[in-house]
Structure 1
């Protein structure tokens, strides 16, 4: 039985695909700007360099291959029963008709699902070793999309009395942490676990030799230890107290950096590439062989779950529109029940 190729699928024209294929790993860093490029194009380039897997990059799913595609693109392309589909879920819903899922949070694990950590920020520039005080606190990411608790102005006003600057690093500069003394990654001022979110920001802090203050994200707790390699905060007061503690306690600052360096060694391009290889050649390949062995059953499964998936998506769009309007309590309860019942 011949081994299939691993086909990484991205959303682009044939002309753009040819350009992506010509990029080397270094220059490709500049184009990792959206989900499928981060998860599929970046993985293709890294595995091309760090593995001997038979891999290819394309803009469509192919029969006879193990097709690895981001959830958003899978929703658009749908696929057919001749294609074996591995859905990279990322921050998006799972797609029931996919044959396997790859997730970024261990709380998303289940049947035919593997956890794979996202890649560390490409081209990361570490904190300047000459910096010896806490003067600049940053959030590296988009601050407008609900991933940062509070507003940039709120953070600035909280830190200004302590002569500490707060900045949000703009897209394109997230990799340059040379002038940052503390990184924050608090999505909300409460204890929500955010079970679909990755631990990527914590990885970045560890690799940049910068202490990290995070919220109660389950992903952070899955890979780190609060108080040892990062600090927890669930309120604005706790966040400011943690920042001031790091400013006033050099020993604690050094402890978090040193422990973070040890943890960073577990999450490198090399180790994450190896995790990809093990997942693709292990459970993903096992599921592919199972799919090959029962073609009629798998065709029926695909047709049924694709239809169900389309209905789910359409229902979700309707619910979103309803949520955007005023709803009476009874209708809200029905919409909430439907959403919880349908989506996984």
Structure 2
């Protein structure tokens, strides 16, 4: 097992860490038994929500490496608690805990003592720490026997997150004229579990019509998963993708169906380019393996979080409550700001202001 191979690389954390699972009913088996924990890669169908991706999966990966981490359905007073920032709020009155909030693509988590962000553009202070998203659990790589052949252009995710022009009959027809087809593995179909299955994918397609502000909170998951899966990607101009880009072989940036079709024709007529992207992706994937992400979490919890927690423990209860009151106001402002910019702003893909 992978966890057994990695045990020697991890020392105990300076302080115990509790991962808080608010929606614990689905995970009662983990709360009642922490000695026989499942490998996240064996239960991809159970890991869907934000809390499951950031809290459950992180807990499982670290606990299986024998670290002193624990799972609870409530915040533990006086302890380091890691929680999904989208799944708790002011009502939880978390001032008695040192809170590490996983921001995901939500508003700036002002209630947290430390924020884990998935996009480097969200680092605004020393309390914001970038950790990439975990790889898709249970990911099945592309069948190498498919070679450089391009037939299946795949989008994995909610269908509404694929810009409508790429779902149009015209685009589908043009793909068919090239001998290819579009496969959408969306949440509105019976193929949800195929989010982790890239065995028959030849190209990954992902273009969202986001506002510029909203794009700043999105992760690079589709690119990283494509690298790990061994599938070249055609992606929209999102900051998270651009931050990781080191060469033209990392992915092909597109904005329109025409640019996507042009890229597909180029890859079809130049199999060597397709092969180069495959080889390059294999190298880049090593930077974002489960092992590497686990090491990042271990380092962050052992250094920045431990140091900040030590200082937090020295503060008085009155100081913590007063600080929470200020944060509560800032949290309301952050939520309002995020809600506004998710809807209003310039959208580079459609070239519209909304």
TM over 0.5: yes
CA contact (8 A) 1:20 1:28 kept: no
Distance 1:71 1:285 in 2: 19
Distance 2:173 2:211 in 1: 20
Match of 1:58 among 60, 65, 72: 72
Please state if 1:12 is matched with 2:23: yes
Give TM-score, length-normalised by structure 2: 0.82
> How many angstroms does 1:83 deviate by?
1.1
Q: 1:302 maps to what in 2? A: 324
Mapping of residues 1-344 of structure 1, within 5 Å: 3-13=14-24, 16-21=26-31, 22=33, 23-25=37-39, 26-50=41-65, 52-75=66-89, 78-111=92-125, 112-132=127-147, 133-144=149-160, 146-148=161-163, 150-154=165-169, 155-170=171-186, 171-188=192-209, 194-295=215-316, 296-310=318-332, 313=335
SS of match in other structure, 1:85: strand
> How many angstroms does 1:192 deviate by?
8.3
Q: Which has the higher contact order (CA 8 A, sep 6+)?
A: 2
Structure 1: stretches of 5+ with no match in the other structure: 324-335, 337-344
Distance 2:244 2:302 in 1: 24
SS of match in other structure, 1:62: coil
Misfit runs of 4+, over 6 Å: 189-193, 314-317
Distance 1:58 1:164 in 2: 48
SS of match in other structure, 2:82: strand
Residue by residue over 1:293-335, the C-alpha shift from the partner in whole angstroms, topping out at 9 and shown as x without a partner, is 2224333111221244246547877x79x98xxxxxxxxxxxx
CA contact (8 A) 1:189 1:215 kept: no
How many pairs align?
Answer: 318
CA contact (8 A) 2:78 2:313 kept: no
Distance 2:162 2:308 in 1: 35
Residue by residue over 1:209-255, the C-alpha shift from the partner in whole angstroms, topping out at 9 and shown as x without a partner, is 11111111111122223512211112221111111111111110011
> How many angstroms does 1:17 deviate by?
3.9
CA contact (8 A) 2:44 2:193 kept: no
Distance 2:47 2:231 in 1: 24
CA contact (8 A) 2:101 2:109 kept: yes
CA contact (8 A) 1:229 1:257 kept: no
Q: 232-241 vs 150-159, which deviates more?
A: 150-159
Structure 2: stretches of 5+ with no match in the other structure: 1-12, 187-191, 345-353
CA contact (8 A) 2:152 2:180 kept: yes
RMSD: 2.7
Q: 287-296 vs 153-162, which deviates more?
A: 153-162
> How many angstroms does 1:161 deviate by?
2.1
Q: 220-229 vs 80-89, which deviates more?
A: 220-229
- Describe the shift of the 1:118–1:314 C-alpha distance in structure 2 as closer, same or farther (beyond 3 A): closer
